[in-house]
Every structure is written in C-alpha cells, then in structure tokens.
A and B are shown apart, each in its own frame.
Chain A
Amino acid sequence: MIWMQQKKNYLSMILTIAALVSIWALVDYLTSGRPPILSGYYKLNIILLCINIILAVSLNLINGFTGQFSIGHAGFMAVGAYLSAVFTQKIMIVETIAAVTGLDPTGDVARTAGLLIAVFIGAMAAAVVGVVIGMPTLRLRGDYLAIATLGMGEIIRGLVLNIEYVGGAAGMSGITQLSSWTTVFILTIISVVVIKNFINSTHGRACISIRENEIAAETMGINTTKYKVLAFSIGAFFAGLAGALHAHYFYTIQPGTFNFLKSFDILVMVVLGGMGSLTGSIIAAILLTFLSAALQDLAALRMVIYALLLILIMIFRPQGLMGNKELSFATFGSLFGKKSSTGGGEQRDGSQSN
C-alpha cells in the first residue's frame, strides 16, 4: 500500500526535486557572478532564510507535533554555534583534516569536510543538552518545560559570557566562512526531510499521539517520556545544526545573538505557520525572514510588529496559516481531483482519567 502511495507521489517527488534544483541553480546564478546580480545583502538574507527554516521546522517537531512547549530554541543554537566555532577556530579541524589527508586546507573539500564535522559535533552537543534538560522536565506535565527551556537559554548565555576561551562578552569573531549557499541549502533540505520522515513514521505518530491525548497514548503502550525526550533532542540537534551554520556564515557570534528574542522569533514562525505543519513553518519562515529584512531600519519596531502579529494570529487564525495540513505538489493535484477534507479546531482535554 505504501508502495502504491509512493508511486502516486512519484510525480510529486520529481516535481519537488526539480523545483529544489531550480531554486539552487537560480540563487547560485544570481549570487555568484562577478559582480553578482544580487548583492551580498540578498544572499545573506537567503542564507538566513534557510537557517530559519531549519529552526522553525525543528521547533515545530517539539511544540507543534509533540505538543510540548519549548521557548528556548536559541539556547540550542548557541550550543551548536559556539561548539562548532571552537572546533574550526581553536581546534583547527580544517587544517587537521588537510594535514592528515594531504588535502589543500584552503580547498573546498577540506573546508566542507571540516564544516560538516564541526556542524555535526555542534548539533550532537545540542542534542545532548536537550536530553539533559528534557529527561527531568518532560516527565512532568504542564509548563515546566517552558520554564526550564527559558532558564536554559539564559544559563547558556551566561556561561559563554563568562568563558574567556570563547571570547566572553565580545564573542568569537573572524570565524572562517565555511558555510556556502550550497552546503546551507543541502543541509536545510536534509533537515526538513529527516524531520518529515520521522513524523511520517510510527515513531512520529507516537509523538503526535502525546499531543492528542497523553493519557490515551500512555495506556496504548507509548512510552511518552521517551518520545517526548526523543522529539525534544531531535529538535535540539537541528537547532544546534542551524546555530553552527549561522556561526560559519556570519563571521561573528556573541552571547546576545542567541537571546530570548531569537527564541521568540522562531516561536512566532511556528505559530504563524501552524503547529503541526512543516510546510506551514517553511512558509512562515520565508514570510518572516523577508518581513524582518524589510524592517531592518526599524529594528525597534520589529518586536512590536512581531508581538502584534502574534496577537492577530491568535485572534483571527489560532491554528496558523496551515493548521496541521501540509502542502505538496500532490495536494495541488488532489485539489482538482477531489474536495479537500475539512480541518481546523483544536481539542485539548483535561487531565481527569475517566
């Protein structure tokens, strides 16, 4: 049956791949000429957009699909950013690889290999922090996770602020720009596909069942603590990955780069896009990255506009742009074939176990 479904989705998949390749080629063409057709400012925002997509999609796994409430995603970003930067700037991973393999340390192969290793280590560290924070707090019901993640973000910020090895308040600057449009784009696709594949499997459904009804999930044999921690640490992993890519594109990282406001930005993307919709998160990341770029000169106003936006969503479209629906080429196809099913309202219930 899945094979049949997969054959049906075959066309959709080919179209998706074609679209992705076109996007890659187009951006590459527009940004790599000498001088490039699009200025560095555009490229910077496109890279930021990809990083935001990774952040929004991974937070959605925790908040939207598993129904937990994490508000410290930037803390995981910080872990990934700092640790990966330590590996490339202090431990000199690229040079080490070059020395061991005889590759040119300024060549693309050694640089990309070094980046990937540093990114992976940063992401793993964030995932470990996720497990450490998640294990004690996710057992408890309610808002403990929100408080713990908020606290975690501040603790991590306080830590890096006081560690001179990573630059203290000044942060780390002069980080080699190892991230490129191609690596960022490919890692963004990988992140989305991994999370999508996880969600569309029995393990992802186990997470969703926790959101839907925790008591029923637990009595139906789902180890709810395990799956909450798993979703939380997968989300943390990709936030760490995003942080590492960020550090290696924007040259500088400071403790303040990953503050509560950054976490709030990501949360707004998830809520705007729809809790439980990956495509919603992607659309919201695109909209908000460009909105934020447009408001660059009104930095003070930006947070006001974000807060207003959040309030407006809550009033007029609490389920977000996409609710828990996904958009794909297959959806477009079926729009003409048959009516789409009705969706909408959320139902949460109390904790009485009748």
Chain B
Amino acid sequence: MTVLKVTNLTKTFGGLKAVSDVNIEINQGELVGLIGPNGAGKTTIFNLLTGVYEPTVGEVVFLGKNTRNLKPYEVNHLGMARTFQNIRLFNDLTVLDNVKIAYHSHAKHGVVSSILRLPSFVKGEEEMIHKAIDFLKIFKLENKKDEIAKNLPYGEQRRLEIARALAAQPKLLLLDEPAAGMNPNETKELMEMIRWVREKFNLTILLIEHDMSLVMGVCERIYVLDYGQLIAHGKPEEIKNNPKVIEAYLGEEVAHA
C-alpha cells in the first residue's frame, strides 16, 4: 500500500529552486532515507510534506488524500508527524507536557468539560498522562518527566522530540537528522529505538540524514538529493556505488576542504 506519493514537487524561493521536480513513493512499513549534501533541499521537502510550505508546483498525496491547501495541523491529523533539524520543543514546559500536547488532537474532553472539571475531563487527562508516560518510557525519559524541556541535555532533547512526534500517533513519521550532534553510542542506541518503534507501532518512516554511512545501516531504500533534484534512488548498496552520488558527496568534501 502506498502511504506517500510525491509527484513533480517543486519549491522556489525567489530565484532559488530549493526543490525541483521531485518524485517519491513510500509504501506502508518502509524505512526510507533521504540524503544529500548541505542545502540540497531535504528539510524543504519535509516542510512541503507537512504543510509548513506550499509547493510551487507538484502534488503530495498522503494516504490517498491530496494535501494541497491543508494546514500543518490538518496534515498531522491525517497521520503525519515530524521532528525538526533545529530542535523545536516547547522549551519552558515539562517533558511530560511536551508529549501531552502532541496527544491533544486525540483527547475527547471538550473546553466546557475542562472548565467544569467534569468526570470526562478527569478521565481524559488521566489517559493523556498514561499515554505520554508510555511514550517517554520508550525513549528512557520517564524519570525526567517533570524536568523543563530546555534543561535536558542535547541528546535527550532529540529523543523527546521523537517521543512527542509519536504521541501524535502518526502513520508516517518524518525524522530530520535525529542523530545530529549525538555521539556514536547515542546514535547507535537511537537507531535501535527507531527500528523498535517502527515494529511496535507499524510505522512508515522517512529519515533525513546528512551522514551517508549511518543511513546505509538502517534504511531499506534511499533517495539522494542534490541541488534540489533527485539524483539517485535505490537500495543502499546501489546508492553506495552510484557515481553521481559519489560525485555529489565528493564535491561537498572538496568544497569543505
């Protein structure tokens, strides 16, 4: 079953074509990688998928629905959740509240019930706490539930973002460089958690990673982006030996030198 189908996706910023004629198709249960050098347009694709940006040209069909003109929260309600490359937590709130907010759209108690503290409020809020703690446990954050999010160490902030995204109970999870800034041990642990949640929640995952070797280890299929265009697509071994990919990444190394 196709979860996500992207056709001719294009986004221009002024004169810059950040994303150019991109086609992507992802099936239920897949763990797909999206890689490419700095500024290739990976994050822009996430912003287009989640409704943060409007495509200049092209279509995004998610679970059979065209998401054009949908707001980010509507896309989220369809079953898509994401993390951000530059962590975007609710900084001054507790770890638990961060996760509870993502569960909000599944809450059944209304405003009046909350103001009057009706039994449905008590039941609803209690359920939210239980669910949120379950997600925190997966990412080994349950002991930190009462800490203020911004006081967490970096690696834990990244994990909290994923826990929060999962609390929205998505079918498709978009992870934007989840391992950025982590040490090799943390990265390894994180990749195991990602694989584990995919099984447990029957998730489809699209993962952006800057680091090619890392993404090779976990992804079944990889799309490679360079200057806004898809330059390759296939299994990790195919990508590894693709001359275009090597050139794109070599070019970057030369530029960095």
Contact surface of A with B, Cβ cutoff 8 Å: 1-3, 194, 197-198, 201-206, 208-209, 212-213, 215-224, 230, 324, 341-343, 346-347, 349, 352-354
Contacts and interface: CB of A to CB of B under 8 A. Distances in A.
B118 to A, nearest CB: 11
B182 interface: no
Nearest to B77: A221
Nearest to B133: A1
Contacts of A223: 71, 73
A224 B47 CA distance: 17
Given A205-B104, A206-B101, A213 B91 contact: yes
**Which 8 pairs, one residue from A and one from B, show the smallest C-beta to C-beta distance?**
A201-B114, A212-B90, A221-B76, A221-B105, A216-B88, A218-B72, A354-B86, A220-B102
Contacts of A198: 111, 114-115
B157 interface: no
Contacts of A208: 90, 93, 97
B111 A230 contact: yes
B114 A213 contact: no
B6 interface: no
Contacts of B125: 2, 201-202
A212 B71 contact: no
A217 B92 contact: no
Contacts of B168: 220-221
B245 interface: no
Interface string B96-126: 0100111111010111001111000110111
B88 A213 contact: yes
Contacts of A342: 151
Contacts of A354: 43, 84-86, 176
Contacts, number: 129
Nearest to A230: B111
Contacts of A203: 110-111, 114
A145 B91 CA distance: 24
Given A202-B100, A202-B128, A221 B73 contact: yes
B129 interface: yes
B111 A220 contact: no
A339 to B, nearest CB: 13
B43 to A, nearest CB: 5
A302 B89 CA distance: 41
Contacts of A197: 114-117
A46 B128 CA distance: 41
A223 B71 CA distance: 9
Given A204-B114, A221-B81, 13 more contacts: A1-B129, A201-B109, A201-B111, A201-B115, A202-B124, A205-B97, A205-B104, A206-B104, A215-B52, A218-B73, A220-B104, A223-B71, A354-B176
A3 B122 contact: yes
Contacts of B111: 198, 201, 203, 230
Output the residue of A3, A203, A343 with the most chain B CB within 10 A: A203
A224 B104 CA distance: 12
Contacts of A204: 114
B53 interface: yes
A216 B84 contact: yes
B148 interface: yes
Contact of A2 (B73, B82, B126): B126
B50 interface: yes
B233 interface: no
Contacts of A224: 73
Contacts of B126: 1-3
B150 interface: yes
A233 to B, nearest CB: 11
Given A1-B129, A206-B101, A213-B91, A219 B76 contact: yes
B71 A217 contact: no
B11 interface: no
Contact of B104 (A212, A216, A221, A343): A221
A216 B90 contact: yes
